[in-house]
Homo-oligomer: A and B are copies of this chain.
Amino acid sequence: MTGARAGLLHTPHGVVETPVFMPVGTQATVKGLRSEELAGELGVQLLLANTYHLFLRPGAAVIRKLGGLHRFMSWPRAILTDSGGFQVFSLSALRKVTDRGVLFRSHLDGDLHEFTPESTVDAQIALGSDIMMALDECPPYPVGLEAAREAVERTVKWAREAFEHYRRRRENEEIRQALFPIVQGSTYPDLRRRCAEELRELGAEGYAVGGVSVGEPRELSLETTELTVPLLPEDRPRYVMGVGMPEELPAYVARGVDMMDCVLPTRNARNGYLFTSQGKLVIKQARYRDDPRPVDESCACSTCRRYSRAYLRHLYQAGEMLYSTLATLHNVYRYLDIMRGIRQAILLGKFPEYLNAVQSLSAEEP
């Protein structure tokens, strides 16, 4: 028995089949791909966009004026926006956390801004995403027990304030967006438990596991997920933020995870790392110079159907942007293909066998 489950997530922009992997569209674009490709060939049902980046440029008010993020980026399906907190902690040079929120300087121009639980809900309502995230404090790894406890207390307080504000606004406006709180607590089981218990009281439509993929060893991300997921309501989607490698996706699903996001498929593609059914392929290697085979001979994506490793290597070496487009398309396809395989296995009642097969495969890898 595993915790894997297949479900349907209903959003104002369509039904999302879970478990789902969300490609990251940081600045209202998945780098190098058009919405036609994302919605068409790739069949993406849910995209992630970053509130921090869009808040700074072009600004949430500009996007609202233009009809919201969906219309702005010509994206017909569902969007999840993060709260911006993670980027404030990872990108902004100067920041000051208070109980009220976080003061920070833009990494673009040094301007001073404040994110509060209320303001980040307002920004996400302006963006019009389908799923919004509550502002949290996300410490890096490792973090001492005391600092982790403070971050949990603040995260819970901010989540309460975010939900109060969100519900107040819903009384007066037609707001169909969901709001998910984020469980913090680093690698401390007691803190994770306490945080989850307090957030459950909010009766949210979904819950996220934050504070993973923040510098800890990969096994620890999975362990932390394993200990946190069972603390969340079973009848709500569970979203683990920022994971993972392609071979890790089944392990997360096996632990009851419904939603994941990660920059790995897109960022690795641009950096020359291609994910295949046979493992990672480093396109700049000289052995691909005249290799007529596709990146992955068992892949059905349009990059693999039309272009050779030799051509991709040439584009990469020549610094041609078409490389990034073709490589990103392939890597995202690979992730979504794995997720389709996982979902099908679950629906057929064959997920334990699927998991065994991929685990023995990855054990074989050098």
Contacts and interface: CB of A to CB of B under 8 A. Distances in A.
A239 to B, nearest CB: 26
Interface string A317-347: 1101110111000000000000000000000
A289 interface: yes
A314 B34 contact: no
Contacts of A12: none
A31 interface: yes
A335 to B, nearest CB: 19
A324 B290 CA distance: 28
Contact of A320 (B31, B65, B320, B325): B31
Residue of A32, A35, A67 with most partner-chain B CB within 10 A: A32
B58 A310 contact: yes
Contacts of A311: 28, 66, 72-74
A29 interface: yes
- Count this chain's copies in the assembly: 2
Contacts of A318: 27, 53, 57
Nearest to A318: B27
A218 interface: no
B58 A314 contact: yes
Given A66-B310, A308-B66, A58 B289 contact: yes
Nearest to A315: B29
Given A62-B289, A66-B310, A324 B326 contact: no
A62 B313 CA distance: 12
Interface in A24-64: 27-29, 31-36, 53, 57-58, 62
Contact of A322 (B31, B53, B58, B65): B31
A310 to B, nearest CB: 5
Contacts of A73: 311
A181 B69 CA distance: 53
B321 A72 contact: no
Contacts of A33: 322
Given A27-B320, A57-B317, A317-B57, A35 B289 contact: no
A274 to B, nearest CB: 17
A74 B307 contact: yes
Nearest to A324: B321
Contacts of A62: 289-290, 310
Given A31-B321, A32-B321, A35-B306, 18 more contacts: A27-B314, A27-B315, A27-B318, A28-B314, A28-B315, A31-B320, A31-B322, A32-B325, A34-B325, A53-B318, A58-B289, A58-B314, A62-B290, A65-B290, A66-B292, A72-B308, A74-B307, A325-B325
27 contacts: A27-B314, A27-B320, A28-B311, A28-B314, A28-B315, A29-B315, A29-B322, A31-B322, A32-B321, A34-B325, A34-B326, A36-B302, A58-B289, A58-B290, A58-B313, A58-B314, A62-B289, A62-B290, A66-B290, A66-B308, A66-B311, A67-B292, A72-B310, A72-B311, A72-B314, A73-B311, A321-B321
- By Cβ-Cβ distance, the 3 closest A-B pairs, closest first, are A74-B306, A29-B322, A58-B314
